[in-house]
Structure 1
């Protein structure tokens, strides 16, 4: 069942108040308006969120921000293209690390790692980014525009009544209040805590400023630093660090100069994020760095040079109090490492919108906010600790481990899965049947809501059409039945195949045959309790068009099989597959302009992927209505290719390939696909970033899968 259908019991949107209009607040506004939420103000009813702006970015001059792949990916899904307001890609590109004296320590070619991420890594001026988000929140488009109140200071918040009080005495009521009011958050003080948790100095401050790239290029002493677009340069000492990277269409260079807070002074009575400071202080702190760096620092404009405290904070025990939730720096301020502060605020905002979709009702808000915390708290806290660790010089292996965890994530897919599990758990009476990764499934004695109703041959041949593609690892991980299954590679670019096979001349079917179509996820490993690892291709679903192999495959082999009609139209240069259920067409697989290749160039493996075998997950419910679908048996199964090939050897007789192929999937609805919709709708969510291989393989010899074994 899709999330939309699981939440379909409500009609009207919520009235959402967002305190703070920085990055997190504006992204939350964009995501929530797209979910159809609304605001009610006094006697006037409008379909808008209400934001109370106290943003330090509104008039900001001297800072830039990383939009790491995990951040840029979710922004794009919201329809936000940061390149339209000056973001530039880390193109080449390289991270150049030096000693303070200017000696090269390490050069990392970022572009070499770019294939690990589904989305680009961008660098953008904070002020431009903030203005772009504001425009997206207030402009006409999907959902009603947000309403932005400037100069509206919030002096009190009631988490239980979901109200905010302004300094003019006005009290505004709502269904939910979101505190996106930064590190010195008022909203955070309204959370239940054993003792107040407040930010404190990390022991470091940072100078920050921008200069034009051209100014650096015009100076022979600094030209070499500025001439490579997209490069990030870093001079690292034990207690000081200078970082330079581009933004604003590569026309500006952003400087972050980190140092002990004992060397500079923050005026606690002023705006700690925009404190002016003299250039002499900057040059004094970095007086021991090499002449080229000092020459660049001298180019800082005294009018835009700012001093920035690097604040830290102990972990909040909770981010939620009744109908109030905090996000971004209000929940978890970050040190400026790994480009994570803004990215985590964006992820928080997206997660909140996922937990508060169209149709959610007012009384559900407190629990939904708890689900948001469940989705986000551990990840944000883990990355907080990683940024603290990153303030020290790390070995390359540990650094790669961190960036894999941080950037290899899609919060849309992650939060969607957390919400699904929450909604599934709300109805303990539904039956869980094979394949369980798609959610609970209705059966002969239950409706979709879980309510009870009234009473091997060597002469066999195969033709397999397969399409292999790159896609989202995060999304595919949601189809793993347990944490014992994982991807072998740390890359977020996963590979999978849709593969359809027609079998003929089957002895056990009286010489007849049948067809099947499955999803195969490549590069997966299963880690047993004893630490032993099996590597293979994981198959979460296999559709077949004949009842007998479905039943025997489920019962004898533990295969995740379901029925669908599979029609094949094969011509001289094309192979087309149409899948349906009693006339309701849900899928098409098409390969056109097929070209002959020598059969010896292919071994007939699924999607052309060489692995040790097929991994599946067996799940069989207990008998009896009282069991409510609890498992009678649940364990992993492995089908080793080596043993299968000895039982019935297969021989490829013909191979055709093409670059012109596609798969189209339409989940339809429960009326059209009453027994399949929960699976088909999820398959339709799988993105196809790039087609890797498409082919039709014909051959002789069909193994009987008798080598399938229980793993543990």
Structure 2
């Protein structure tokens, strides 16, 4: 599918320069729209650790010309291993399903740089840092900054995350307050130099595979990054912090040691390599499905409307799918008066999809975190049986779920929704005649 050039080039304001925001700026810029990206931070930076680039996302990035810079820094996974928490016993191992394309992993900062560099290389995309949005008007469309500056445009896309300012203005109520899930995650990256001294750890960083250790109320996912020069480890565990506390914090390394006491000795070795006395810890939050994502010429995307839990590796992919749908729909309109219609169609093509994926992540959390006992034993038996073609209890590794997650083309789905809506309008007009 080639890129549809905009019939009516629009002035687009994108609020937020995270992965969803830069993806939206890129696809809209490539189609000929004039894009201003507003970022509250004083410089462009993306922190974090590893991220999985699933086939449904990679298909879009390939279409937008970004995949060569991604493949220069990624690792293409070949296998997924599932291990028991206590002794590392292999419960299941399966080759990565490449029916829909590669499953690659990359450092979040490398993916962000690839997207941002591609977007900002376009003459019609502009980044404004130190620009904190405090308000939005819906007719005519504008955003106001904390400095008092008002920026006008044809459409506003809010990619400003789970703590979105725009969302509060758009909904006009507190129903979208984030809800703690009860889980938090430590994220660590280890250099090759510290791992290759130990045969067990060297095998881990050398193999193009992801490993999941699963246990009561906790799980770990780990894989190599940057052409096997780094090793990424995400450790999900019960959240001990209060509701009002900062979501991203640093915790004593000893907390991580205590959280995984008695786990596979390989896990203990990985944690032992962490040199810092404190490690980054993320509070995992959601909010309930919103009644709407759009109002007039303003739309929410990504974590601003559907934050994801990291249990099926789709958080960024769903934000990129949002960007893809917005890019193609805003390029299909014939007049500016159709912007609200295009945004409604965007919501129709994306809302059920994103919320289904979101719910699958929540469901998978229960499966992965079963306590020791009969249910866990039955699940582990299922893992062993899936080598012979049985259903995989880990939704992320289940072929049927992968078909739904990875076989989706967000641009195609958006165009189909647009054609259906236009067809319905034409039928109604003929009916009136």
Q: TM-score, normalised by structure 1?
A: 0.54
Q: State how far apart, in whole Å, the 2-side matches of 1:223 and 1:315 are.
A: 43
Q: Structure 2 vs 1, CA of residues 26 and 59 (structure 1 numbering), >3 Å: closer, same or farther?
A: closer
Question: What is the SS of the residue equivalent to 2:415?
Answer: helix
Query: Which residue does 2:76 correspond to in 1?
Result: 89
Question: What is the SS of the residue equivalent to 2:161?
Answer: coil
Higher Rg of the two aligned structures: 1
Which of the residues 222, 226, 229 maps onto 2:205? 226
Query: Which residue does 1:258 correspond to in 2?
Result: 236
CA contact (8 A) 1:208 1:305 kept: yes
Instruction: Work out whether 1:287 is the aligned partner of 2:283.
Output: no
Aligned pairs (5 A) from 1:494-513: none
Question: What is the SS of the residue equivalent to 1:305?
Answer: strand
Quote the offset at 1:167 in angstroms.
1.1
Query: Which residue does 1:17 correspond to in 2?
Result: 13
Instruction: Work out whether 1:213 is the aligned partner of 2:205.
Output: no
CA contact (8 A) 1:13 1:359 kept: no
Instruction: Work out whether 1:165 is the aligned partner of 2:158.
Output: no
Q: Structure 2 vs 1, CA of residues 105 and 54 (structure 1 numbering), >3 Å: closer, same or farther?
A: farther
Q: What CA deviation, in whole Å up to 9, does each residue of 1:378-410 have, x standing for no partner?
A: 000000000001112265445223222111111
Greater shift, 319-328 or 361-370, is seen at 361-370
Q: Structure 2 vs 1, CA of residues 4 and 105 (structure 1 numbering), >3 Å: closer, same or farther?
A: closer
Query: Which residue does 1:372 correspond to in 2?
Result: 346
Query: Which residue does 1:50 correspond to in 2?
Result: 36
Query: Which residue does 1:344 correspond to in 2?
Result: 318
Larger RCO of the pair (alpha carbons < 8 Å, separation 6+):
2
Instruction: Work out whether 1:416 is the aligned partner of 2:411.
Output: no
Aligned pairs (5 A) from 1:88-487: 88-90=75-77, 92-110=78-96, 113-114=97-98, 116-117=99-100, 119-140=101-122, 144-192=123-171, 195-228=174-207, 230-262=208-240, 265=241, 268=244, 270=246, 272-273=247-248, 275-302=249-276, 305-357=279-331, 360-393=334-367, 396-397=391-392, 399=395, 400=398, 401-428=400-427
Query: Which residue does 2:25 correspond to in 1?
Result: 29
Quote the offset at 1:362 in angstroms.
2.0
CA contact (8 A) 1:206 1:257 kept: yes
- What is the count of residue pairs matched by the alignment? 406
Question: What is the SS of the residue equivalent to 1:178?
Answer: strand
CA contact (8 A) 1:266 1:307 kept: no
Q: Structure 2 vs 1, CA of residues 237 and 368 (structure 1 numbering), >3 Å: closer, same or farther?
A: same
CA contact (8 A) 1:14 1:175 kept: yes
Aligned pairs (5 A) from 1:524-535: none
Q: State how far apart, in whole Å, the 2-side matches of 1:282 and 1:337 are.
A: 19
CA contact (8 A) 1:206 1:307 kept: yes
Quote the offset at 1:124 in angstroms.
0.7
Q: What CA deviation, in whole Å up to 9, does each residue of 1:588-642 have, x standing for no partner?
A: xxxxxxxxxxxxxxxxxxxxxxxxxxxxxxxxxxxxxx899xxxxxxxxxxxxxx
CA contact (8 A) 1:176 1:365 kept: yes
Q: State how far apart, in whole Å, the 2-side matches of 1:356 and 1:348 are.
A: 12
Quote the offset at 1:139 in angstroms.
0.5
Instruction: Work out whether 1:72 is the aligned partner of 2:72.
Output: no
Question: What is the SS of the residue equivalent to 2:426?
Answer: coil
Q: State how far apart, in whole Å, the 1-side matches of 2:124 and 2:3 are.
A: 24
CA contact (8 A) 2:168 2:174 kept: no
Structure 2 gap ranges (5+): 368-378, 383-390
Q: State how far apart, in whole Å, the 1-side matches of 2:352 and 2:276 are.
A: 41
CA contact (8 A) 1:100 1:289 kept: yes
Q: State how far apart, in whole Å, the 1-side matches of 2:272 and 2:181 are.
A: 27
